[in-house]
Amino acid sequence: RKEVEQDPGPFNVPEGATVAFNCTYSNSASQSFFWYRQDCRKEPKLLMSVYSSGNEDGRFTAQLNRASQYISLLIRDSKLSDSATYLCVVNMKNQGGKLIFGQGTELSVKP
């Protein structure tokens, strides 16, 4: 079982749609959680950190459920520019605190 698992997609949605990405992690000792965005043939960039209480940044909402070891990212009112791969990232405290990346979920927003 992979330490961080994501649905690879692709998710094909029309502009304006709401789309949700899910991520599960296997290590209950994980302490920090992030969503990164990676455009085609580009480097990953931090989209947002994920806090226990949930957090929102404009059209993006991240949620964390520690009991279920589950992280989510919700994108409302999708834009063409949201097309990218979204990486779920977890900090594994009992592995020296290393960041573990999921494979990523590909999103394609169509006109």
Binding residues for other proteins, per CB under 8 A?
4, 31-32, 34, 41-46, 49, 87, 91, 96-99, 101-104
Please state the closest distance from residue 83 (CB atom) to other proteins, in A: 19
DSSP-derived 3-state class of residue 97: coil
How near is the Cβ of 102 to other proteins at its closest, in Å? Answer: 6
H or E segment to which residue 110 belongs: strand 105-110
Nearer to other proteins, 42 or 59 (CB): 42
DSSP assignment string, 53-73: T-EEETTEEEEEETTTTEEEE
Nearer to other proteins, 25 or 78 (CB): 25
User: CA–CA separation, 24 vs 4, rounded Å?
Assistant: 6
Q: Give the nearer residue to other proteins in terms of CB position, either 30 or 78.
A: 30
CB of 23 to other proteins, least distance (A): 11
98's enclosing H/E stretch is strand 98-101
Q: Which residues contact 13 (CB under 8 A, 6 or more apart)?
A: 19, 78, 107, 108, 109, 110
Nearer to other proteins, 20 or 46 (CB): 46
Q: How far is the CB of 60 from other proteins (least distance, A)?
A: 16
